[in-house]
């Protein structure tokens, strides 16, 4: 298997703004990829190879970041940088895994075989994203098993958005359009993150996410142009998912705790509020083409700011959901714990079998020696 599954099951044309809902963002992903290659060709600033023990590692780290070079796993890095990345990449990986549940909820009931195939492929992509991200985190010296334990123990978080229920088929469309859309806006700048393995994982993931957004948009477009009941289903889904999607960008800048240092380290490149604004500005024209209403009476174009004014999400609700009291937190965690617990005997068997095989493979050599 290689590359995006959703795009290979896909293929259809719908009226869209530009070349597609996320075409501008896809361009930015490609630019980030080109920048990554260019940086590699430029080479690193006076590398402290071999016995260059006189270069201060902290200074060299800072010089690398300033030169827009990537920090690689073997490089020295400050502990706090490592911890911040582990926390962020793990949370991102967990989000991919928990995120399989709300959409996976509709695989068995997808209303056409084509939609079923696209959704299966999409959820499979998300599992793949989880795998790349856990692998990126492992380059920082933690194991996937440790991270999974932290998730199951409730000591690491995942995106709060996945604690909302998918009540109708239109929610699958709304998740693709809004949730994957917000994820792309959040993640495109991460393609330029200073940590090499994370940046490279994000480039790959963002390309697939843009297909996810497109399939969600297509679902909503079809529903919005379908029967009255389908149209109502689509509007209801947008009504329920709009504000939780805005909340995906995190607390407002004035309350954001991790931002400043992450900006200096070039882990984060834009503030929560900047990204949220970018998302709103992207969605408004798309909603118009869909023929669906964004549930915000205050939404209007502001010519001075060249952006839309909008009602911010309920941050108190975001905090409640993050702290565990969203509609589905308990259900999502219970499902993950159950899958993990019920799979334990399978993983043990695989390990036992591998050990037996290894023993059998070495046994004859020992005899010979």
Partner 1 sequence: MKTTVDHLLALGDDALIAAQRLGEWVAAAPELEEDVALANIALDQLGAARLLLTYAGELEGAGRDEDALAYLRDDREFRNCLLVELPNGDFAVTMAKLLFLAAYQLTLYTALSGCADERLAAIASKARKEVAYHLDHARLWTVRLGDGTAESHRRMQAAVDEIWPYTHELFLPDPTAPVDPAGLRAEFLAIVEPVLAEATLERPADDWAPEGGRRGLHTEHLSYLLAEMQVLHRAHPGARW
Task: Return the ∠ at Cα 322 (arms to 318 and 326), rounded to 5°.
Answer: 75
Which 347-366 positions form the footprint of partner 1 (CB under 8 A)? 347-350, 352-353, 356
**String marking each residue 130-149 x if it binds partner 1 according to CB under 8 A:** xx--x---------------
- Cβ distance 278 to 185 under 8 Å? yes
Choices 83-91, 197-205, 223-231, 252-260 (CB under 8 A): range interacting with partner 1: 223-231
- The region, left, alpha or beta by phi > 0 then psi within -120 to 50, assigned to residue 308 is beta
Residues 6+ apart with CB under 8 A from 278: 185, 270
Which residue lies nearer to partner 1 by CB, 172 or 193? 172
Under rule CB under 8 A, residue 227 binds partner 1: yes
Residue 51: which of partner 1, Fe ion, none does it interact with, CB under 5 to 8 A by kind?
none
| Angle in degrees, CA 8, 204, 178, rounded to 5 | 75
Q: Applying CB under 8 A, does 27 fall inside the site for partner 1?
A: no
Shortest distance (Å) from residue 215 CB to partner 1: 12
- The site partner of 5 among partner 1, Fe ion, none (C-beta below 5 to 8 Å per kind) is partner 1
335 binds partner 1 (CB under 8 A): yes
Which candidate, 188, 184, 70, places its Cα nearest to that of 136? 70
365 phi, psi to nearest 5 deg: -60, -40
228 binds, options partner 1, Fe ion, none, Cβ within 5 to 8 A by partner type = none
When binding is defined by CB under 5 A, the residue of 209, 250, 279, 321 that contacts Fe ion is 209
Q: Residue 33 or residue 209: which is nearer to Fe ion going by CB?
A: 209
* Cross-strand partners of 308: 301
Of the chain, the end-to-end C-alpha distance in Å amounts to 42
Residue 308 backbone dihedrals phi, psi, to 5 degrees: -90, 135
By 3-state DSSP, what share of the chain in percent is helix, strand and coil, each rounded to 5? 70, 0, 30
Closer residue to Fe ion in complex, CB, 33/126 = 126
Q: Site residues for partner 1, window 49-108 (CB under 8 A)?
A: 97, 100-101, 104, 107-108
Residues in touch with Fe ion (CB under 5 A): 96, 126, 129, 180, 209, 212
């Amino acid at each position: 298997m290689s590359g995006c599954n959703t795009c290979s099951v896909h293929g259809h044309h719908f009226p869209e703004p530009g070349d597609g809902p996320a075409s501008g963002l896809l361009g930015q992903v490609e630019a980030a990829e080109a920048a990554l290659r260019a940086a590699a060709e430029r080479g690193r600033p006076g590398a402290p190879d071999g016995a260059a023990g006189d270069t201060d590692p902290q200074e060299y780290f800072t010089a690398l970041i300033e030169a827009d070079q990537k920090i690689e796993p073997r490089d020295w890095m400050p502990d706090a940088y490592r911890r911040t990345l582990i926390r962020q990449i793990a949370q991102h990986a967990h989000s991919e895994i928990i995120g399989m549940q709300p959409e996976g909820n509709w695989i068995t009931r997808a209303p056409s075989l084509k939609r079923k195939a696209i959704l299966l492929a999409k959820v499979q992509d998300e599992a793949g994203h989880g795998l790349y991200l856990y692998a990126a985190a492992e380059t920082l010296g933690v194991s996937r098993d440790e991270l999974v334990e932290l998730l199951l123990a409730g000591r690491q978080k995942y995106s709060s958005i996945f604690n909302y229920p998918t009540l109708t088929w239109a929610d699958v469309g709304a998740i693709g359009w809004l949730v994957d859309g917000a994820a792309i806006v959040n993640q495109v700048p991460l393609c330029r993150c200073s940590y090499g393995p994370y940046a490279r994982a994000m480039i790959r993931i963002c390309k697939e996410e843009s297909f996810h957004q497109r399939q969600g948009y297509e679902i909503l477009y079809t529903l919005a142009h379908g029967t009255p009941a389908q149209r109502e289903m689509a509007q209801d889904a947008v009504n329920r998912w709009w504000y939780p999607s805005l909340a995906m960008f995190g607390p407002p800048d004035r309350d954001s705790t991790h931002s400043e240092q992450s900006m200096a380290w070039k882990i984060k490149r834009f503030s929560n509020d900047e990204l949220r604004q970018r998302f709103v500005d992207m969605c408004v024209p798309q909603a118009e083409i869909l023929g669906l209403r964004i549930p915000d009476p205050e939404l209007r174009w502001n010519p001075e700011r060249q952006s839309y004014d909008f009602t911010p999400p309920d941050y108190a609700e975001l905090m409640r959901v993050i702290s565990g009291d969203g509609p589905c937190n308990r259900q999502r965690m219970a499902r993950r714990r159950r899958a993990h617990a019920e799979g334990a005997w399978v993983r043990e068997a695989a390990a036992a079998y591998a050990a037996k095989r290894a023993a059998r493979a070495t046994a004859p050599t020992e005899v010979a020696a």
